[in-house]
Amino acid sequence: MSPRLITIDSDSSASTAVDIMLRNNIRHLLVIDKDKIEKPIGMITPLDLRDEEFTDEGLRDAIEELSMYYK
């Protein structure tokens, strides 16, 4: 049996993506378009989030933690 596929809706925030990644201990997140019957439209990794400007220091730290596997 395959594990459940973890996805995020295309209009979700970056902080939601980080939260999902941390809660599920994953480094890649499939982006879907719920308006088109959950059609896959992309993939988010911590590297995609690293360049975002976040005011929340805890969120920046979480992204750095997720990104350490890519250094």
* Residue boundaries of the structural domains of the chain: 7-70
What is the Cα–Cα distance from 29 to 47, expressed in whole angstroms?
A: 12
- Superfamily for 7-70? CBS-domain (3.10.580.10)
Alpha carbon 42 to its chain centroid, in Å, reads 11
The residue written with tokens 């902080």 in the block is 15
pTM: 0.72
What is the Cα–Cα distance from 18 to 22, expressed in whole angstroms?
A: 6
How does pLDDT run across 8-54, given as a tens digit for each residue? Answer: 999 998 889 888 988 898 889 999 987 777 788 999 988 887 766 66
